Amino acid sequence: MGELIGAAGAGRGVALVLTGEAGIGKSALLEYALREASGLEVVRSAGSEFEQELPFAALHQLCVPILRHLPELSGRHRAALQVAFGLGDGTPDLFHIGLAVLELMAVAAQDRPLLCLVDDVQWVDAASLTVLAFLARRMGADRISMIFAVRTPAVPSELGTVESLAVARLSDEDARELLARRSPLVLDERVRDSLVAEARGNPLALVELPRAGGFLLPATPSTPTRIEEIFQSRLRALPPGARLLLIVASADPTGDPGLLWPAAQQLGLDVTRAAAEAAGSGLAEFDARIRFCHPLARSAVYRAAAVEERRAAHAALAEIVDPVVAPDRRVWHRAQASSGPDDDVAADLERCASRAQARGGVAAAAAFLERSVALTMDPALRVERTLASVQATLDAGGADPAADLLATVDVAALDGYQRARVDVLGGRIAFTRHGDGTGPMLMVSAARRLATLDVQRSRDCFLDGIEMALSVGRARGVIDEVLAAARIDAPPVASPDILDVLIMLGAQGPRGAVPLLAGLPGDDDPWWASRPALATMIAAEFWDFDTHAAIADRLEKSGRESGSPALLRLGLGQKACEAVLVGDVSRAITAIAEEEAIADAVGDSPLMYPRLLLAAWRGRRTEALALFRSATEAEAGRAGGQVTNLTWTSATLHNGLGNYPAALDAARKVVDDELFHVGGALLELIEAATRCGEPALAARALASLTDHTRAGGTPSALGVAASARALVTGVEDHYREALGHLGESPLKPYRGRAHLLYGEWLRRQGRRRDSVQHLRTAHDLLSTSGAEGFARRAAGELRAAGEKVNRPSEQTPGTLTAQEIAVAGLVAAGATSPEVAVQLFISKRTVDAHLRNIFRKLGVTSRRQLKDQRFTLG
């Protein structure tokens, strides 16, 4: 603990998660850290079981002591925090808020190192937890340390990558020593040994069990439940006034005396006497803030209260809470005080839900709406609020609770639009569940219901069904079924759109789809803008590299402008793929590294498909196969498109290495099993089939590839098709045609492959001199574009022709971590340290620390020198 506290002062900010059962000593360790934090500024927060639906409640509690630095923040970050804490209007963005809090803490830490203590993380609201987990991964070089305490087994996944320490139970010897020091009673040896056995090394149990009289409690419940029973027994021993005062305190998680005392007076209590009696029980202390002796004490008191007592407490608090300052809290208390349906309160709760959603509090919105449903009398309103509650609960990540809520809806009483909403919600719930493939057809059901009610929404549901079908598994039958339904039931529109293209692509292949694709909107409102994922797939099917590049540019630009990590990651993934296909490995690695850095910032796994593509083209067998195995295990049974990427890129790898049977097996799986995603795999199938003596298979694949590439009509597409045709026919003019088209294409690796194939054919025709010319060109193109496997094939052919092949340069690129590459790439492009910090969701101090490491590793002394560097992941 001392090392962690010292790290903050030394500019090596770290984070630690203390885990353990209730009463094991986590809070005591936080108190110890507080006492030891001499010279540090300490900020504290604690989750509350009764406040975990209110967005940013725990974060606000943590930041209040350092909000004096708010004016020192950049305008964007200052506005983000004002929105999050209800000090300004707008829609909060969690990651901008995370950056804002990071900057706030970094500014505060300039005066003194900062120690952040967060207790009862299992009850921290979802919005705060997301930001706190973000901060825990971003400490880096800042003078900030964080300690979290969370009760097992409720350790949130958001903190899964943060270093953790399990607080262990006491040994019997230590337990006896604690009893001797803390027990108010003189215990005989048998009672002491029984208490030690009963507490099972739990310190809180050891302290509390003797206060219950030194006798054993029944052995069936768990230790935390026994402790709660002890707290409740102390509550029952109190006079009614003190008991009611504690119940009111337990119903108000803010611990604000300005609410408790007036509420107690509302209930007619003698406040002074009740407070003295309640404090004497040791359950709570009444000071500048009301604090229970342990979180279990608060929950024990609240649960021990009779229903009427809870309602009375909430009603009194509702009268005191300022409706202007805290309208949502006031309405929540009114809702808990209601004994039956109350349309006025239900309507207020609905308005609270709208405010919570506007502030990003989806969990709070779900809680408000669920309670609103319970208080609604009007059947029609109850249905609408139930469906809204299901949506909010699903948005908050509660698929199972959302399904339970949806099951309460009487479908027979709904109109067509409401039934469609039920299907949409059911489809989205199914999509979140591993192994549940019902989502696509539920979207189809919704689309059919909406066909005569809302044409555009109906067509959107069909597109949602297609995207789900492409994601939930590799089974072609599901996609065929969705497309067949869309072909029959999708309502027509005046002008063709992307749905029409997909329907025709599934029914008639590229030849039928191309005329429709040609009629889609162009530059001003491109057809691919609304559905970039599907559009990218279509562009790949037709070898339309220009459209693919435009989509990647738009995604990256939109992601940077909006600050959306999800959008930026998609853009970077596509930019990395583009860079691989044009043979710019350094740019691909930089984009991949930046995407990984952002994934790390948001606590997600990096995108796999650009890594798979890069690994395949680089031809490093051991590294690539390890990556493929890892991706296969991670994605087993999940995204169909991901599985396709695995098999297609595996075919590319094996063709580059000359392992044609393995390439044939991989490529055949894509073409046989998939309706889409096959355009890129067809060339690999044709080359592998011709090498493996399967001309009929190669001819069938060539016919399909010709349809795909002729549809796009780009030089890249036509060149790839001609190259494949040459493999099947062995006609020299086809090799020359391929080189002619690909000479106008930006796809440098494919141009190198075309020269390689022509050179191989020429050598086998006995035309050594001609072959050497093309093989050398192939070797140069492939080597300089990073296609190392294919380059080795060219080198082997040259040696077989009796030529000497120079080894590649031994210059070793700088070996950096992914985040260092991301920083170096952005700086090399001209970004300042603050701009890099915003892009990578880290602090400026961390950026500068990375730059120092980068300069040392690369042996450079200025930012300008980074432009000439090549990077490789360490």
Residue that is written with structure tokens 């407490």 in the block? 313
Q: What are phi and psi of 62, to 5 degrees?
A: -70, -35
- More confident position, 244 or 218: 244
Indicate whether 476 pLDDT > 70: no
Helix or strand holding residue 1 (H, E): none
Indicate whether 164 pLDDT > 70: yes
pLDDT band at 94 (very low <50, low <70, confident <90, very high): confident
pLDDT band at 222 (very low <50, low <70, confident <90, very high): very low
Indicate whether 637 pLDDT > 50: no
- More confident position, 85 or 236: 236
Q: What pLDDT does residue 843 have?
A: 73
Range among 21-35, 254-268, 392-406, 832-846 with highest mean pLDDT value: 254-268
Q: What is 156-208 written as a DSSP string? A: -GGGTTS-EEEPPPPPHHHHHHHHHHH-SS---HHHHHHHHHHHTT-HHHHHH
Look at the chain and count its residues. Answer: 874
- More confident position, 372 or 437: 372
Q: What pLDDT does residue 639 have?
A: 43
Q: What pLDDT does residue 850 have?
A: 84
Q: What pLDDT does residue 507 have?
A: 86
List all residues 6 or more positions away from 166 whose beta carbon is below 8 Å from its beta carbon: 19, 20, 152
Q: Distance between CA 226 and CA 222 in Å, rounded?
A: 6
Q: What are phi and psi of 151, to 5 degrees?
A: -80, 130
Q: What is the Cα Rg of the chain in Å?
A: 33
Q: What pLDDT does residue 634 have?
A: 65
* Angle at the Cα of 394 from the Cα atoms of 101 and 83, rounded to 5 degrees: 25
Q: What is the pLDDT of residues 243-253, one digit of tens each?
A: 999 999 988 87
- Cα–Cα distances in Å, from 21 out to 118, 150, 165, 200, 641? 16, 8, 12, 12, 42
Q: Distance between CA 176 and CA 98 in Å, rounded?
A: 45
Q: What is the CATH number of domain 2-166?
A: 3.40.50.300
Quick one: which of 147, 59, 149, 137 has its CA closest to 104?
Answer: 59
Q: What pLDDT does residue 217 have?
A: 34
Range among 62-71, 124-133, 210-219 with highest mean pLDDT value: 62-71
Q: What pLDDT does residue 641 have?
A: 45
Read off the pLDDT of each residue in 72-95 and give the average, rounded to a whole number.
Answer: 80
Indicate whether 474 pLDDT > 70: no
Q: Distance between CA 792 and CA 773 in Å, rounded?
A: 16
**HSE on the CB side for 54, CA within 13 Å?**
23
Can you say whether residue 829 is alpha, beta or left, with left for phi > 0 and alpha for psi between -120 and 50 degrees? alpha
- Cα–Cα distances in Å, from 340 out to 200, 337, 372, 373, 503? 44, 9, 11, 12, 52
Tokens of 697: 């298979």
Which of 532-535's residues contact partners 24+ apart within 8 Å by CB, and which partners?
532/570, 533/467, 533/570, 534/463, 534/466, 534/467, 534/498, 534/502, 535/498
- More confident position, 819 or 851: 851
Q: Distance between CA 175 and CA 267 in Å, rounded?
A: 43
Quick one: which of 52, 40, 721, 650 has its CA closest to 363?
Answer: 52
Indicate whether 109 pLDDT > 80: yes
Q: Distance between CA 283 and CA 290 in Å, rounded?
A: 11
Q: What pLDDT does residue 66 have?
A: 93
Q: Distance between CA 168 and CA 837 in Å, rounded?
A: 39
Q: What pLDDT does residue 209 have?
A: 58
Read off the pLDDT of each residue in 527-545 and give the average, rounded to a whole number.
Answer: 85
Tokens of 3: 């090392």
- More confident position, 511 or 608: 608
Q: What pLDDT does residue 178 have?
A: 78
Read off the pLDDT of each residue in 93-107 and give the average, rounded to a whole number.
Answer: 84
Q: What is the pLDDT of residues 748-806, one digit of tens each?
A: 999 999 999 999 999 999 999 999 999 999 999 999 999 999 999 999 999 999 999 87
Read off the pLDDT of each residue in 126-154 and give the average, rounded to a whole number.
Answer: 85
CATH architecture for the domain at 815-873: Orthogonal Bundle (1.10)
pLDDT band at 23 (very low <50, low <70, confident <90, very high): confident
Indicate whether 224 pLDDT > 60: no
- More confident position, 282 or 754: 754
Indicate whether 473 pLDDT > 60: no
Q: Is-same-fold flag (714-804; 815-873)?
A: no
Give the single-character DSSP code of 121. G
Cis peptide before 610 (omega within 30 of 0): no
Indicate whether 873 pLDDT > 60: no
- Residues 145, 7 contacting (CB under 8 angstroms): yes
Q: Distance between CA 754 and CA 737 in Å, rounded?
A: 10
pTM: 0.74
List all residues 6 or more positions away from 764 whose beta carbon is below 8 Å from its beta carbon: none
- Residues 245, 264 contacting (CB under 8 angstroms): yes
- Residues 703, 536 contacting (CB under 8 angstroms): no
Indicate whether 270 pLDDT > 90: yes
The domain segmentation of the chain, as residue ranges, is: 2-166, 235-337, 353-526, 528-607, 615-712, 714-804, 815-873
- Residues 797, 759 contacting (CB under 8 angstroms): yes
Q: What pLDDT does residue 644 have?
A: 57
- More confident position, 797 or 558: 797
Q: Distance between CA 113 and CA 10 in Å, rounded?
A: 9
Q: With b meaning 16 or more CB within 10 Å and e meaning fewer, what string describes 604-620?
A: eebbbbbbbbbbbbbbb
Tokens of 796: 């082997």
Quick one: which of 66, 125, 56 has its CA closest to 86?
Answer: 56
What is the percent of the chain where pLDDT is above 90? 38
Q: What are phi and psi of 408, to 5 degrees?
A: -80, -10
SS (HEC) of 461-473: HHHHHHHHHHHHC
Residue that is written with structure tokens 């959302």 in the block? 402
Range among 46-55, 193-202, 566-575, 601-610 with highest mean pLDDT value: 566-575
Please determine, looking at this structure, whether the domain spanning 714-804 carries the CATH number 1.10.287.
no
- More confident position, 63 or 850: 63
Q: What pLDDT does residue 640 have?
A: 44
pLDDT band at 836 (very low <50, low <70, confident <90, very high): confident
- Residues 688, 720 contacting (CB under 8 angstroms): no
Quick one: which of 81, 78, 32 has its CA closest to 59?
Answer: 81
What is the percent of the chain where pLDDT is above 70? 89
Residue that is written with structure tokens 């009114």 in the block? 334
Q: With b meaning 16 or more CB within 10 Å and e meaning fewer, what string describes 152-185?
A: eeebbebbeebeeeebebbeeeebbebbeeebee
- More confident position, 103 or 315: 315
pLDDT band at 227 (very low <50, low <70, confident <90, very high): confident
User: Which residues are registered as beta bridge partners of 151?
Assistant: 20
Indicate whether 841 pLDDT > 80: no
Pseudo-torsion of CA 512, 516, 517, 519, nearest 10°?
Answer: 150
Indicate whether 643 pLDDT > 70: no
Mean pLDDT of the chain: 85
- More confident position, 212 or 847: 847
SS (HEC) of 775-800: HHHHHHHHHHCCCHHHHHHHHHHHHH
Beta strands in 66-156 (DSSP E): 114-119, 144-151
Q: What pLDDT does residue 733 have?
A: 96
Q: Distance between CA 321 and CA 258 in Å, rounded?
A: 9
Q: What pLDDT does residue 747 have?
A: 94
pLDDT band at 814 (very low <50, low <70, confident <90, very high): low
Tokens of 400: 């199972």
Q: What is the pLDDT of residues 316-341, one digit of tens each?
A: 999 999 888 788 889 989 999 998 89
Tokens of 753: 């492959």
Q: What are phi and psi of 164, to 5 degrees?
A: -130, 160
Q: What pLDDT does residue 341 have?
A: 92
* Angle at the Cα of 62 from the Cα atoms of 57 and 63, rounded to 5 degrees: 100
